[in-house]
Each structure stands twice: as structure tokens, then as C-alpha cells.
Structure 1
Amino acid sequence: MTSRSKRKRQLVDMFPGMADRIDGTPPKAEAEPEALTLDEAIAKSHAMVDKVLAAHPVVATIGLFSGGNDSVIVNHLFRQRVDAIAHVNTGTGVPETTQHVRDVVAAWGLRLHELHPKNSYADLVLGRVLSTRGKNIGRQVWKGFPGPAGHSVMYRRLKDEPLQRLRAQIVGTQWRTRNVIYLGGMRWAETDRRFRNAEEVDREGSLIWVSPIVHWTDAHMREYRARHRCDLPHEHAPHRLCHPDVLPLNEVTVHLHMSGECLCGAFAKPGELDEIEFFYPHAAKPLRELENEAEAAGLSACKWGQRPPGERTRNRPTGRLCSKCVDPEGQTDLLAEWRESGLITTDQYDTFTRPDAA
């Protein structure tokens, strides 16, 4: 049994006002987590941001909104305290997620920074991006579809670089006296990686990463959703924005159990592209076409979501904004789940999983 499975408790709803806490002490926690009610957890989240604002000259507080279930709570909670929202449109995600973010931010009356990477995912996969610095200048940054070993390259190029560019635009040349806060949705209770590595506050030069709900448990998250999401028996408005203070819902997270804003495939689960294709064929189509291009170019790593030949398993960090990126080894085969639930027949499962199916 893994340490995560030991800590993971059965999903049960708390009674209103019931306290809950993280099991164990995260290595990077400032103090041992205490049992908190949801209202106490909310107060601690605001106090965390207040402390940073009091200690540093901050010129902008930006909420990071991927469209996922955790980031929507962070931004809903702080929507009256942020100066703007940032969403990284990686160019390789489900378009409905980006549209969800646009619609929600507009409904909140906030400014949206929709960021785009300089290098496209397709150019990275096909080896068209060359290094412009250091001893590797002129060499390919990456080639082929990434496995876990390539995730750091994809994260840096598709997500981190656009966010660093936004920070530079806001701070300008006064980086010694001007700071930007990025509010993210990392939580210790998400995964073993998050439990080990997530920090409440992480300063990176003039950029201050704050994870205000890092101490929230899964039960806190469920209670917050129950408190703020519209579940009335009526025809819901798009994104369930049925009244001004409601917590939005991204339908992509219902179907895929992730935000889908980035489909780099580095930590894809078995059958994940089939699942994406089932619900969002228009999002899977360019990935299938890129597979054909990669194969035609003679790349050995020419299949999305498959560990490249010869790649060794390593315990690598996944990046601040990649909460659902975990090593796929040992995870559930989605196609097998579909077969067991009756969504597909045994014959269809055999067809999808035979060696020549791709």
C-alpha cells in the first residue's frame, strides 16, 4: 500500500461545521496542519494572502485559472481580490475549457490574460524548436511525443514561459521593487507529489507563487462545491452560472475528470486519447494527425501518450500547474473501465487494444 493510499480516506461528506485535516505532515508545511472547518480553512486562505501582501510590494495579484475543479474554487474564492485572471491556452487542449474560462471571467467582470506559448506543441514534437542559449544552442529542444521524461520541457515551453512573460510585462525593469502574486490551486491532498512538494508560498525572484488552498482537504472541496454550486432542479444557465455568486462548472471536467487545458500526453493514462476522442473528437483529431506526421518523419516516439522507447522511469516533478500529471504506471486502464461498465463491448475492447489498432 502506498503512502498516498494510507492517507486517502473513504470519500464521505462532512456535516456543515465539521473540522477536517490533512493526514500526516507535508515536508514543506510551515507547521503541522490542524483540523479546520471549511470556514476556518477559508479564513486561513485569506490570511495567507494577507501575509504576503503585507511583506512584499505587490503590484498585481493574478488568479491562475486552468478551468479545472481546484482552480475554479481558488478563483471563485478570490475573485473580489485579484486584479486579473490568467489562463494559458497551450494550443493542445480541449477548446471548450478555454471558452469556459473566457465566459466565467467575463461573468465575474474581471480582466483575462489569455496567454499563448511561443512554440507550438506540434513544433516541439516534430523537433522544429531549437535551443537559443547555453551549450546546447542550435540543438533540438525536444523530438517526438513526450513521456514522463519530457514533461518538464513541455511544461516549461507550453505553460511556464507564457506566465514568466506576463510577469515581465507587469513588473518591467523594476523587478527589485515590484512583485506579482500568482494564485494557484495546489493542494497537499491531491497526490503524493503534491504532499511532498507543494508549498504555501514559493518566491521566485519578483514572482510569488501562493497556494491559498494548499491545506484544504477533499472534504473541504466537496463542502465548498455543495455550498456554492447551483444544484436546483431547473434548466441551468451555461457553466451553471445561474446567479451572480454561484460556483461555475466546466463540463469538460465532468467528462474527462481533468480540465483538459493541456493534452501534451506526457503522463497520459492507458486509453486516455480514446476517452478524449469519445467526448471531444475535434480535440483528438489534431493529435491523431500529428501522430501520422511524426511517424512519416521517422520519429520513434510517434504515438501520443506512450512512453518513448528506451525511456527510463524517473520520479520527476510535474510543475506547479499540472496537478493531474502523475506517472501512469499502475493507473486504471480506461478502456477496461468502459468494458466493465458496459460502455463498450468486449469485442470493441479487443479491437481497440489489439497491437495493430493504432
Structure 2
Amino acid sequence: MSARSKRNQPVGDMFPGMPDLLGKQPPKAVEGEHVARTLDEAIARSSEILDDALSVYPVVGTYWLSSGGNDSAIVGHLLRDRYDAVLHVNTGTGIPETTQYVRDLAAAWGDTLHELHPKNSYRDLVLGKVIASTGPNAGKRAVWKGFPGPAGHKVMYRHLKDEPLMRFRKSVVGDQGRTRKIAYLGGMRWGETERRFRNAEAIDQDGAIVWVSPLVHWTDAHMREYRARHRCQQDHEHAQHRLCFDGALPLNEVTEHIHMSGECLCLAYGKPGEPDEIEFFYPHAAAPMRELEREAEAAGIKACRWGQKPPSEDNDAAPAGRLCSSCVAIPGQDDLIDQWRNSGLITPEQHAAFTREAS
């Protein structure tokens, strides 16, 4: 068992209705937060977290951030009557089926959907066409060139995800960020990765944005029990996204194939073989990246391979962005690959092979 699993996760699965808690108190948990809870108690605490956020920070809008992932779906399902609209950041690099899933779900639930797009495209970032607008290199140098590895993750996150969210925030509050705020509901949990364990907070106010993580205290066992309780498990031909009955928990079919939402394929923290896996299931999503590889190579860019760490690049130890749940570092990809092994997605032998290949 990995150090992360020993530190954070309980041992084994829990029976439905049993209380569960993380193996160690998260550094940013509020006093009294680290206690064993049944699923129903965890649900009640999620509502309290949102209540607390809205009482401390009166906001002009509450928005569910839907990535298309299964954890994100639980946030929306649990709090369907408590947000004003859905936000989906279409990075331009993702699998189209994931964006369509978000659109379908918003339509099925009668939600208003704001589909956000970055100002600067991934293609322009890779080809070095995005010139710095601030700092000592303003107007002189590209902010990045080549396919990103870990060191380029912050640049990609800032341009592809953070910038659209900040622009949306400004469209709502304008220049009144000191007095008007909005709430973003995300699916961050302490039990996801070591980075999330160290850094996630239930409520995190940053300027005009109040980041709220209603599931921050949920364990993997809570997540499994919630899915088993609300997702259609009948032996029949399922409705689209398993919305087989009113109140059903939806499923993005992309997650069944590649075990992530696929809403961003910058692959700054790509694991060995990940581009090939994506190409196998979704060749139409990989095709633009393969074409971009050829463009980058023709332009003489050294980092011209999608999902591979650029030559001579050191790993970036900075935390992943708020919305990047599966971005973890190579070598080892310890957080993600350990999760796969612990959840049964890969065998211990496959886990050992992944670890050897990455090291």
C-alpha cells in the first residue's frame, strides 16, 4: 500500500450505512471536521458547507463547475436545487463526447449552461504564438513553446481553465469584486490525491470568487455508496447517460473507457502510453494532437511529442490547478496509479509495470 493510501484512506471497503473517515486529519480541515460519518451524515455536512459559505460570503451567483467527471456529477446531483447555472470550461483539447455529455445533462435537468472557452488556444500555446502581455517579457517572448510537461502545467492551466473562469467572474461582478462575489462549486476531496489532502479546503475565498468543495470530506467509500444508491443498476438498455429515472445519477460514458473525464488533454502530466490509450478509444480527439505534433516538429520545436515530458525538463513540484484532479507528477504517477490499483482498475502486476516504466 502506498504512503498516500496508508495516510489518507481507510482499509478495505465499507458496508452501506457504516461510518467512514480518512486515516489522518487533513492539514486544512476545520476543527471537528475529521470525524467518522455515514454517507447520510456526509451528505448533511455537504449542505452545511454550502450554507456556511453563503452565510459568510453573500454571493450574487452560485455555479456548479461541471467537468464531465463522475465526482463532479455527484456535486451537481446532490445540490441540484442550490446552484444558479452550470459552468463547463471547454478547453478545446478535450474529448467532444464529454462536452456533449455536459450539454445533454444540463438540458435534461433544465439547467442554464455557460460553456466557457479560453482566449488563447492550446495549438497557439504549443506553437509559441501566445506572446507575454505582462512582466519583463511583455511583447517580446512567447509564454510557452512546445507540448507541456510538468513544468508547463501552470501555463496551460492558467490559459485553458483559469482565464475563462476569471473572465466569467468579471462578467458577473464587474469591477465590484470587493463587495460582490460568486461561488464556484467543485468536486475536490481530501481523499483524491496527496496534493488534494494537503491543500484542499471546504471553503476558500480568493478575491471575488468563493471556491466551495462540498465533498471535501467524502471518502472513496462514500463516493461508491452514493453511486450505488443513485445510479441505475438495472439489467436493461439504459437511457442516455443512465438517466433512466427521475433523480438518477448520470454517467459520462467516456469515464468508463479512460477512467477520467477527458475534458482536458493537454497531458502535461501524461502517463506512459496515455496518448495511445486516448487514440484507441477516441481517435477523432487524438487526431488534432497528432497533426499538431507534425506542425511542431516542422517548426523545429524540440518538445514536439504529445504527452511526453520535454527534453531536459525538471518536474514541477507546484500544486496542480484547482480543477485538475488527476494531474500528478512523473516519475511514478504515484497518486493516480495507486488509486487505479486500489480501486481494482489495474492489477498489482500492472501497477508494478507502470511504476517501472515511469521511473
Residue identity over aligned pairs, in percent, reads 66
Partner of 1:170: 172
Compute the displacement of 1:57 (Å).
2.0
For 1:313 and 1:272, locate their aligned partners in 2 and report how far apart those are by CA, in whole Å. Answer: 18
The more displaced of 174-183 and 272-281 is 174-183
Residues 57 and 177 of structure 1 are in contact (CA less than 8 Å); yes or no, is this contact kept in structure 2? no
For 1:269 and 1:233, locate their aligned partners in 2 and report how far apart those are by CA, in whole Å. Answer: 35
For 1:230 and 1:68, locate their aligned partners in 2 and report how far apart those are by CA, in whole Å. Answer: 17
Partner of 2:235: 233
For 1:156 and 1:297, locate their aligned partners in 2 and report how far apart those are by CA, in whole Å. Answer: 25
Compute the displacement of 1:330 (Å).
1.6
Compute the displacement of 1:313 (Å).
2.2
Compute the displacement of 1:2 (Å).
4.5
SS of the residue corresponding to residue 182 of structure 1 reads: strand
Partner of 1:211: 213
Residues 270 and 328 of structure 1 are in contact (CA less than 8 Å); yes or no, is this contact kept in structure 2? no
Residues 10 and 20 of structure 2 are in contact (CA less than 8 Å); yes or no, is this contact kept in structure 1? no
Partner of 2:15: 15
For 1:5 and 1:221, locate their aligned partners in 2 and report how far apart those are by CA, in whole Å. Answer: 16
Residues 181 and 207 of structure 1 are in contact (CA less than 8 Å); yes or no, is this contact kept in structure 2? yes
Counterpart amino acid of residue 273 in structure 2: G
Partner of 2:65: 64
For 1:284 and 1:235, locate their aligned partners in 2 and report how far apart those are by CA, in whole Å. Answer: 29
Compute the displacement of 1:11 (Å).
4.7
Counterpart amino acid of residue 88 in structure 1: V
Partner of 1:30: 30
Residues 10 and 21 of structure 2 are in contact (CA less than 8 Å); yes or no, is this contact kept in structure 1? no
SS of the residue corresponding to residue 177 of structure 1 reads: coil
Residues 10 and 22 of structure 2 are in contact (CA less than 8 Å); yes or no, is this contact kept in structure 1? no
Partner of 2:118: 117
Partner of 1:256: 258
Partner of 1:289: 291
Partner of 2:269: 267
Residues 57 and 210 of structure 2 are in contact (CA less than 8 Å); yes or no, is this contact kept in structure 1? no
Compute the displacement of 1:314 (Å).
3.2
Kindly provide the CA deviation profile for residues 83-124 of structure 1, in whole angstroms up to 9, marking residues without a partner as x.
001000000000000000000011111100100000000000
Partner of 2:163: 161
For 2:245 and 2:76, locate their aligned partners in 1 and report how far apart those are by CA, in whole Å. Answer: 16
Kindly provide the CA deviation profile for residues 256-306 of structure 1, in whole angstroms up to 9, marking residues without a partner as x.
000000000100000001000110000011111111111111111000111
For 2:207 and 2:332, locate their aligned partners in 1 and report how far apart those are by CA, in whole Å. Answer: 38
Alignment of 1:303-314 (within 5 A): 303-314=305-316
The more displaced of 23-32 and 179-188 is 23-32
RMSD: 1.8
Counterpart amino acid of residue 38 in structure 1: L
Compute the displacement of 1:328 (Å).
3.0
Compute the displacement of 1:254 (Å).
0.6
Partner of 2:76: 75
Kindly provide the CA deviation profile for residues 171-216 of structure 1, in whole angstroms up to 9, marking residues without a partner as x.
1232222110000000000001110111111111111001110000
Residues 20 and 35 of structure 1 are in contact (CA less than 8 Å); yes or no, is this contact kept in structure 2? yes
Compute the displacement of 1:9 (Å).
4.5
Partner of 1:4: 4
Structure 1 moving runs of 4+ over 4 Å: none
* Count of residues in correspondence between the two structures: 338
For 1:195 and 1:233, locate their aligned partners in 2 and report how far apart those are by CA, in whole Å. Answer: 37
SS of the residue corresponding to residue 210 of structure 2 reads: strand
Question: Are residue 126 (structure 1) and residue 127 (structure 2) matched?
Answer: yes
Question: Are residue 199 (structure 1) and residue 201 (structure 2) matched?
Answer: yes
Kindly provide the CA deviation profile for residues 59-93 of structure 1, in whole angstroms up to 9, marking residues without a partner as x.
10000000011111011111111000100000000
Compute the displacement of 1:316 (Å).
1.6
For 2:242 and 2:305, locate their aligned partners in 1 and report how far apart those are by CA, in whole Å. Answer: 37
For 2:182 and 2:112, locate their aligned partners in 1 and report how far apart those are by CA, in whole Å. Answer: 16
2:249 to 244, 247, 250: 247
For 1:46 and 1:280, locate their aligned partners in 2 and report how far apart those are by CA, in whole Å. Answer: 37
For 1:156 and 1:324, locate their aligned partners in 2 and report how far apart those are by CA, in whole Å. Answer: 16
For 1:67 and 1:228, locate their aligned partners in 2 and report how far apart those are by CA, in whole Å. Answer: 17
Compute the displacement of 1:234 (Å).
1.0
Give the TM-score of the pair, scaled to structure 2: 0.91
Counterpart amino acid of residue 271 in structure 1: G
Residues 188 and 194 of structure 1 are in contact (CA less than 8 Å); yes or no, is this contact kept in structure 2? yes
For 1:141 and 1:296, locate their aligned partners in 2 and report how far apart those are by CA, in whole Å. Answer: 20
SS of the residue corresponding to residue 98 of structure 2 reads: helix
Q: 5+ unaligned residues in a row in structure 1: which ranges?
A: 342-352, 354-358
SS of the residue corresponding to residue 204 of structure 2 reads: strand
The more displaced of 167-176 and 192-201 is 167-176
For 1:10 and 1:108, locate their aligned partners in 2 and report how far apart those are by CA, in whole Å. Answer: 37
SS of the residue corresponding to residue 119 of structure 2 reads: coil
